[in-house]
C-alpha cells in the first residue's frame, strides 16, 4: 500500500511556530477531512506535504521516498488550492485552455477527457482569461485540475468555498466516485464541516500546532456524546469518560465527552444524552470554552 507520511514536522515563520512535531500517516485509498481553526497551520502542513514549502525539521515521504525536491515522488501528488488572481506570476492572465494545457504537462496521469467533460459540465468558458472568471468558476478550476490530475494523492484546500450548494453536492459525488473507482486518496481541508462530514472516511483535527486526533469518522462520532442536566447528575453520568468540553447554561450543565474503554456514560435519571455531529465536536474541541 502506498502512502504519504509526515514525521516530526515543525515549521515557524520568524518567531511564530505554526507546526510543532507533527507526525501523520496518510493511507492510500481513503478520503480524509483536515479541519482546524484559521491560522492553525492546515495550509502550511499541506504545502509541506506536497513539497511546496520546506519544513524547519522533520521529513515527508511518499512510498518511503522523500517528497522535497523529488520529481518522481511529487508526480504522484496534486495540491489543488485557491487561485490568487492578484498573483504576480502572470499565470492568471492566461486563458483557461492554456491553464489546463500546462496542468496536463505537469501531471503525468492527466485525464484530458475528464477535464474537458468537467469544463463543459460546470459551464466554464475555456476562452476566458483566468483572472476574468466569476468567483464560482474560479473556485471550480482548481477542483477540475485536482480531479483530472488523477494523482494518487490529491489534496484540496477549501475546494468548496466559492461553490453554490448544488455544485458542492456534485463535487462531493465526484470525489467519492474517484475514490471508489480508482482507489485515489483525497485530503480535503474545509470549513464547511457539516455537509462534508459524510464524505470523510477519516478526520484529522489540527489544534495547538499539532494533530489533536486522527480517527475514523463514524467510529469517532459513535463514541462521542453531548450530556446535559443538573451538574451533579451529569458528572455522575460521565464519570470515567474523557471530557472534551463543558459549559454552564443557567442552572444546567453540559459536557461533550468521549467514551473509551471502561469510560462509558451511565444511565442517570434526568440526564439527557445526545449524539454529536462532526461540526459540534469540532466546536467542542477547538472552541473558546475548551478545558
**Distance, first Cα to last Cα, the chain:** 39
Q: Which residues pair with 25 in a beta bridge?
A: 5
Contacts 24+ apart (CB under 8 A), 266-271: 266/236, 266/237, 266/238, 266/239, 267/237, 268/229, 268/233, 268/234, 268/236, 268/237, 269/233, 270/229, 270/230, 270/233, 271/227, 271/228, 271/229, 271/233, 271/234, 271/237
Model confidence, pTM: 0.92
Residue 130 in grid coordinates: 483566468
Write down the residue that cell numbers 453536492 correspond to: 169
DSSP E strands: which ranges in the chain?
A: 3-13, 16-27, 31-35, 57-62, 65-66, 77-80, 153-157, 185-189, 202-207, 210-216, 224-229, 242-249, 252-258, 272-275
pLDDT digit string (tens) for the chain, length 291 residues = 468 999 999 999 998 999 999 999 999 999 999 999 999 999 999 999 999 999 999 999 999 999 999 999 999 999 998 887 666 455 667 899 999 999 999 999 999 999 999 999 999 999 999 988 998 899 999 999 999 999 999 999 999 888 899 999 999 999 999 999 999 999 999 999 998 999 999 999 999 999 999 999 999 999 999 999 999 999 999 999 999 999 998 889 999 999 988 889 999 999 999 999 999 999 999 985 433
Amino acid at each position: 500500500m502506498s502512502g504519504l507520511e509526515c514525521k516530526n514536522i515543525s515549521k515557524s515563520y520568524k518567531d511564530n511556530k505554526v507546526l510543532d512535531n507533527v507526525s501523520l500517516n496518510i493511507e492510500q485509498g481513503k478520503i480524509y477531512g483536515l479541519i482546524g481553526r484559521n491560522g492553525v497551520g492546515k495550509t502550511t502542513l499541506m504545502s509541506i506535504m506536497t513539497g511546496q514549502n520546506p519544513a524547519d525539521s522533520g521529513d515527508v515521504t511518499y512510498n518511503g521516498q522523500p517528497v522535497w525536491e523529488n520529481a518522481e515522488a511529487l508526480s504522484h501528488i496534486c495540491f489543488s488550492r485557491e487561485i490568487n488572481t492578484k498573483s504576480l506570476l502572470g499565470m492568471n492572465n492566461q486563458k483557461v485552455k492554456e491553464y489546463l494545457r500546462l496542468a496536463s504537462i505537469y501531471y503525468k496521469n492527466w485525464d484530458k477527457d475528464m477535464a474537458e467533460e468537467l469544463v463543459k459540465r460546470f459551464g466554464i468558458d475555456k476562452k476566458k482569461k483566468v483572472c476574468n472568471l466569476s468567483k464560482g468558476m474560479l473556485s471550480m478550476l482548481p477542483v477540475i485540475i485536482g480531479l483530472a490530475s488523477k494523482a494518487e494523492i490529491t489534496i484540496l484546500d477549501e475546494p468548496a468555498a466559492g461553490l453554490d450548494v448544488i455544485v458542492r453536492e456534485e463535487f462531493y459525488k465526484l470525489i467519492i466516485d474517484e475514490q471508489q473507482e480508482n482507489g485515489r486518496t483525497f485530503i480535503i481541508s474545509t470549513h464547511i464541516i457539516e455537509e462534508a462530514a459524510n464524505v470523510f472516511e477519516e478526520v484529522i483535527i489540527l489544534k495547538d500546532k499539532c494533530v489533536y486526533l486522527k480517527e475514523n469518522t463514524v467510529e469517532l462520532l459513535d463514541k462521542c456524546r453531548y450530556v446535559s442536566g443538573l451538574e451533579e447528575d451529569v458528572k455522575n453520568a460521565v464519570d470515567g469518560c474523557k471530557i472534551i468540553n463543558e459549559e454552564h447554561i443557567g442552572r444546567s450543565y453540559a459536557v461533550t465527552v468521549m467514551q473509551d474503554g471502561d469510560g462509558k456514560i451511565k444511565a442517570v435519571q434526568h440526564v439527557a444524552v445526545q449524539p454529536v455531529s462532526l461540526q459540534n465536536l469540532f466546536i467542542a474541541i477547538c472552541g473558546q470554552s475548551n478545558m
